[in-house]
Structure 1
Amino acid sequence: MSITQQYVLDAYRAQRLGQSAPPAPGLHEWQVVREWRDRRAFQAVVAERPARGRLRHTLGRWLHPRPRSTS
C-alpha cells in the first residue's frame, strides 16, 4: 500500500468516526529540514566553528588544493 492510499484510508476512517483528518503526507518535511539545518548551525557555533560556508570551503579545498611547500 502506498503512502497516498494509506492517507486516503485514514482520512476516510476519520471522517466516518467524526474525527479530524490526519495531515497530508509530506506536509511538514520542509519544516523538519529547516529545523535540522538550524540545529547544525547552532552546534557549529557552540563548538566554535563557522556556522555558514563550511561545505563550500571544504569543496574549495578539494577542488583547488594549495601546493605543498618543500622545506
Structure 2
Amino acid sequence: VICRVILSAPVRLAIILILVVPDFALATYRRVSNPEQNKIGVTAHIGGFLAGIMMGLVLMRNITPLRWEKNLGW
C-alpha cells in the first residue's frame, strides 16, 4: 500500500518539484547576481533539455494508456 502511494503521480510530481525548483532558483540567482563569473553555456543546456524531452517521448512510451491520456492525445 505504501509503495502504491509513493509511486502515485502527485507524489512523484511533488518529489520532482522539490528537486527542480530550488536548483532552478539557485541557478537563476547565480546568473543574475554575478553575470561576469558565469561561464556556463545556456544554449547548450537548453539543447540538452530539448534532446532529453524528445528522447523521453520516443523511448518511454506509455504501454497502458489511461482514458484521460487518450482524451488528451497522449
Task: Tell me which structure has the larger Cα radius of gyration.
Answer: 1
Q: Give me the TM-score of the superposition, normalised by structure 1.
A: 0.31
Greater length-normalized contact order (CA 8 Å, ≥ 6 residues apart): 1
Q: Give me the TM-score of the superposition, normalised by structure 2.
A: 0.31
Instruction: Specify which structure has the higher proportion of helix.
Output: 2
